[in-house]
Amino acid sequence: MNKTLLAVMTLGVAAQLAVGADKKIVFLAGPPSHGPGDHEHRAGCLLLKSCLDSVKGVTSVVYSNGWPDDPSAFDGAAAVVIYSDGGGGHPFLKGDRLETIGALMRKGVGLACLHYAVEPTPERGEKEFLDWIGGAFEPNWSVNPTWVAEFKTLPEHPITRGVKPFSLRDEWYFHMRFRDGMQGVTPILSAVASESTMSRKDGPHEGNPTVRESVKRGDPQHMAWAAERANGGRGFGFTGGHYQKNWGNDSFRKIVLNAILWVAHVEVPPNGLESNVTAEQLAQNLDPKGRR
C-alpha cells in the first residue's frame, strides 16, 4: 500500500472518529416557574450539564428562558433537552418553533423532555411528540399527582445501566398518551400508583374515569420511557423533576444522564454515567423567587 493511499485512509478513519466522538447537547431551560426549589429549570439544566462535562467528546450548552436568541444554537446538535413548563405555554408552541424542532427531528437529532415539558396540547404538538419521543401528557387522560413512586424493577436498556431500584416523592405524572401499541416505545420507570393519587376531583390534570379504573386495577404506570424513530432518531420522556432536591438522588439523576447520552447516540458506560452532586451544588443557580 503506498503512503498516499495510507494517508487518505488514515484521514478518513480519523474524520469518522471525530464525528462519532464529538456530540453537542443543547439544553433549553424554561423561565422561572412555581415556588423556590420547584421547577428550577435553569438550575437543573446547569446541574445536568456539569455532570455531562466529564464525558469525553461531549459538549453541552444551556439556554435560558426556553429558547435561544442565537439562530445558530442548534447547529451540529446531537440532542436537545428541554426542561420547562408545558401546556399552552410550552416553549415549542410559540411561533414557528415546532417546525424548527421538527426539522431537527427529521435529521435524526435526539430529544429529551423533562417534567412539565412532556405536555404539549392536544391541538398542537401532541401528534409531533408521539412521533418524536413516543408519548405525551394529555389533559383529561393523564394526571399529575405528587406521590412516592416505588420503582422495584428496571428493564434491561442502556438508560438503566448502573441504576438501582429506588423510591422517591415527586410530582410523577402518569397514564400518559403513548403511540398506538407502544410501537417503538420502551418503558423505563414504571410503578403501580397508590390509591391516594386518585384522592382528587376530576379535572384536566387531576383525574378522570379512565385513569381511576386503571389505578383501581393496579396497572403499572410509566413515568419514564425511551422511543426510537424510523429515521434512527431517539426520544426520551421523563415525568419527574418537580423538585430541585431530587436531582441529589443518584438513581434519579443517572436515569436522566444516561438517557441524554442515549438520545445523542453516545455509548452509555457499562455502569451508567457516574456523578456526584453535593447539597451546595443543588443550591446553585436557583431562580430568584424569594425565600422559603
The residue segments making up the domain with residue 215 are: 21-282
Q: Any idea how long the chain is?
A: 292
In a domain, 257, yes or no: yes
In a domain, 55, yes or no: yes
In a domain, 210, yes or no: yes
This prediction's pTM: 0.91
- Measured CA to CA, the distance from residue 219 to residue 27 in angstroms comes to 33
| pLDDT of 48 strictly over 70 | yes
Number of domains comprising the chain? 1
> What single-letter DSSP state applies at residue 242?
S
State residue 180 phi and psi, 5-degree precision: -55, 130
In a domain, 220, yes or no: yes
In a domain, 89, yes or no: yes
Cell numbers 456539569: residue: 50
In a domain, 5, yes or no: no
**Which residues have C-beta within 8 Å of that of residue 101, sequence separation ≥ 6?**
80, 92, 111, 128, 132
- Measured CA to CA, the distance from residue 190 to residue 118 in angstroms comes to 16
Cell numbers 410559540: residue: 94
CATH number at residue 188: 3.40.50.880
Q: Tens of pLDDT along 133-159?
A: 999 999 999 999 999 999 999 999 999
For residue 231, how many other CB atoms are within 10 A of its CB?
9
In a domain, 235, yes or no: yes
Rounded to the nearest 10 degrees, what angle do helices 41-52 and 250-263 cross at? Answer: 70
- Measured CA to CA, the distance from residue 55 to residue 78 in angstroms comes to 14
In a domain, 202, yes or no: yes
* Number of helices (H), then strands (E), in the chain: 7, 11
- Measured CA to CA, the distance from residue 207 to residue 198 in angstroms comes to 7
pLDDT (average), residues 200-213: 97
Q: Tens of pLDDT along 175-186?
A: 999 999 999 999
